[in-house]
Structure 1
């Protein structure tokens, strides 16, 4: 089968389209013919081994000189071709979607995945749309846990992959949503249901004086003190930074996250650093939101499998709007 493979850290140029053996599912796995896969900030972070501190902190993903898994890609959507003998809820022919987590391998024609990490593809989505959902949608869902109707939520990075889901999910919960993005993305964020949109090139939301019940920061471009200044007295700050490539870094967005983890013990505000574990329950919840019409995946561009390096370069350098998807 064809797959996007890398053997060392580097730019998208280290990614190669190669023939590799077709995998065979274990007893608890299904073999999926991949029809589409999504690009996430995670992919370029692993591709480059950046920030460098992650090579020490996350050995499941990062080796010292190259990633632990040769084939990139987490999010996928496709059709089940075979199922292990212990699998009972998924059958060949089923259309599914899911997130491979640190196993990677979605940028390929086939992938083996534990059956408890897949769910039925939302019936009203194409494979390309469905592939855009798992990691970004799950992150948004987790970051907004506990949000109640009439609360005020701000999403910093509202036009990105996670942000576009976060705006819609927050609105489905009855929140008043403010999105922060650049001028070119204002129309998109408004179309997703945001009540108010701030152009960060014209206004710094941390200095505007508005207070929010929850601030979901997906960018990491403000200090912890400035972010906390935007919260109500009982507000929550949720951190889940992705960002774009800026030439390599030791800490990158992890600097803010590490400081937040330390300071959270000494401050009155609730500070949550997201650590999301993929699972069928999240995919099922997202499928219900999508099939009810409350959430619609937003896709910026699609690329064929052989142009995966171009797709990742686009995501890491050009502030992609919403999701970028690979067609297989």
Structure 2
């Protein structure tokens, strides 16, 4: 089978499209013929091999040599202990922790998957798992979004932000999006009430205060965000550098006690709310925003677009 593989840590140039053996599912796994897979920040952390990801995937060289977690495809074989799915089922889900998605075939435990609705394409399904879960768990589970809230999404044009605006509008929030100049018109068309070009304006210094900030980037120290949070409001981060995330984790109790502002870190629960998203998709209340899709032969173009943050929504690769 064809797969995007890497044998050493580095940049996009170490990736290769190669022929590798088709995997064999364990007793509690299914074999999926992949139709689409999307890119995530975690793929780049594993590719580049920062300190944390080397602990997860090998200190000197990667133990798992095929990246990719958000997969969508059709089941071709099932292990004897699999009860929820059968051969021929169309499924999707997040394989975080085991990866292997950038390949024509992959194996997945049944608990990592849900059935794909008939009206949802494989490309749309591959765009959902990680980004939509972070948006749901950031805005609803952790942020406790309510009608009338003033919300800001930093990094609004990526996967989390494009799901986040749709969820926020369903919950009656007034939403500001922060991203680059090239994405502002698209943010408006997606439903953002206000947009901020981060290349021209620092939202932490413009005097505006928000009931809830959802941060996909976490590219400032915690102290910089405090002035943007209304009294009793919340700052919720779903991604960024380990140093910044650690600052949020350690500063949260102090901020809550002395400044009456809540700083929280979302620890992703993969696939937890996929059935909820299925319901919203079927009722035409949410739709993935897709960049591409790119064919497997054009994987380098897809990776480079993602790496320079030139994409809007989710970058998807098809097989």
TM-score range for the pair, normalised by the shorter chain length = over 0.9
Contact 2:188–2:194 under 8 Å retained in 1: yes
1:206 and 1:69 map into 2 onto residues whose CA distance is 40
Name the SS for the 2:254 alignment partner.
coil
1:172 and 1:123 map into 2 onto residues whose CA distance is 23
Contact 1:43–1:312 under 8 Å retained in 2: no
Q: 2:286 aligned with 1:295, yes or no?
A: yes
Contact 1:34–1:79 under 8 Å retained in 2: yes
Of 161, 172, 186, 2:184 maps to 186
User: Which runs of structure 2 are paired with 1:195-206 in the superposition (5 Å)?
Assistant: 195-206=193-204
Name the SS for the 2:244 alignment partner.
helix
Contact 1:79–1:94 under 8 Å retained in 2: yes
Contact 2:46–2:53 under 8 Å retained in 1: no
Q: Which residue of 1 aligns with 2:297?
A: 306
Of 164, 167, 174, 1:166 maps to 164
Give the C-alpha shift of residue 301 in structure 1.
Answer: 2.1
Q: Which residue of 2 aligns with 1:246?
A: none
Give the C-alpha shift of residue 38 in structure 1.
Answer: 0.4
Higher RCO, Cα 8 Å, sep 6+: 1
1:319 and 1:220 map into 2 onto residues whose CA distance is 18
Gaps of 5+ in 1: 243-252
Contact 1:12–1:310 under 8 Å retained in 2: no
The 4+ residue runs of structure 1 with deviation greater than 3 A are none
Give the C-alpha shift of residue 200 in structure 1.
Answer: 1.9
Q: Which residue of 1 aligns with 2:262?
A: 270
Gaps of 5+ in 2: none
Q: 2:313 aligned with 1:315, yes or no?
A: no
1:55 and 1:129 map into 2 onto residues whose CA distance is 28
Contact 1:79–1:95 under 8 Å retained in 2: yes
1:315 and 1:188 map into 2 onto residues whose CA distance is 17
**Paired residues, number:** 312
Q: Which residue of 2 aligns with 1:250?
A: none
Q: Which residue of 2 aligns with 1:85?
A: 80
Contact 1:30–1:80 under 8 Å retained in 2: yes
Query: Could you tell me the TM-score, scaled by structure 1's length?
Result: 0.90
Give the C-alpha shift of residue 318 in structure 1.
Answer: 4.1
1:203 and 1:307 map into 2 onto residues whose CA distance is 35
User: Which runs of structure 2 are paired with 1:120-269 in the superposition (5 Å)?
Assistant: 120-145=115-140, 146-242=144-240, 253-268=241-256, 269=261
Instruction: Render the CA deviation track for 1:213-268: whole Å, top value 9, x for unaligned.
Output: 110111223331121211111111111235xxxxxxxxxx2221111112112112
Contact 2:157–2:179 under 8 Å retained in 1: yes
